[in-house]
Amino acid sequence: METGTTNGSSGKIAIVTGGNRGLGRNTVLSLAGRGVDSIFTYRTNREEADVVVGLVGGAGARAVALQLDTGDVGTFGSFVDQVRRALTGLGAERFDYLVNNAGMALYKPFDQTTEAELDALYAVHFKGVFFLTQALLPLINDGGKIVNISSGLARFAAPGSSAYASMKGAIEVLTRYLARELGGRGIAVNTVAPGAIASDFGGGRVRDNAEINRRVTEVTALGRAGQPDDIGPMVAALLSDDNRWINAQRIEVSGGMNI
């Protein structure tokens, strides 16, 4: 699946996991607005992915959507082969930016969380990020950038999010190590930690539950829940050369939640 033109292209290419919806979708579209082409993944909903490809084309950039379950490490070898073919189609051999965004929610008290649920979160939110980044390293340009998506929940505690937040805490540690180990190639690695966002994440919990939305609003300095449009443009800006000297940082984008 590919469309778009090269008009206004920056010549840069991003890979964004989970780019068919939510924050990933917004990131892909924000990058397109800056002339950055994208290869993005979707897990099951090809129709959503097709819509995003069309929107990117309408913005004058190009996008390729590839199916991937980021929790299935055994498929990463074949995925990298697909990425190589997609890059060829975009007239490139390597890409510039990686955004590890794909994820899923779990809202469950610590004493009720099962081993299977913890393993599923680990597979997607940590193991998948670790080994997909490792698998793609030979294809990322020296001087490239990696953004790992964390959560405000890694800083403040909300009962029922212990398993999910712990995985995000691990990602924040991994980010610092990647920044250190990849610095020799000029690759900057940062974490972006959104606060509560009114999107379809977690079944639309913040967006559709008026009581949860009210509570988020009350503890956020800017007086509302976040929107996907608050995150995608920030990630796109962080990936730009304007922010080339930001490295190994955790940047929370929460409107001042729980401060």
Q: Print burial letters for 78-95: b (CB count within 10 Å at least 16), e (below 16).
A: ebeebbeebbeebebeeb
Report how far residue 195's alpha carbon sits from residue 228's, in angstroms, rounded to the nearest whole number. 11
Instruction: Give the containing element (helix H, strand E) for 63.
Output: strand 63-67
Residue reference for tokens 């020799």: 184
164 is catalytic: yes
How far CA 171 is from CA of 20, 129, 242, in Å, comes to 22, 8, 24
Helix orientation angle between 228-239 and 22-33, rounded to the nearest 10 degrees: 50
Cross-strand bridge partners of residue 98: 15, 146
Count of positions (residues) in the chain: 259
Which residue's entry shows tokens 């990322």?
Answer: 140
Q: Which of 97, 107, 122, 164 is catalytic?
A: 164
Give the residues across from 145 on adjacent strands.
Answer: 97, 188
Question: Tokens 């974490």 correspond to what residue?
Answer: 191
Phi-psi region of 107 (alpha: psi -120 to 50; beta: other; left: phi over 0): beta
- Known catalytic residues are 164
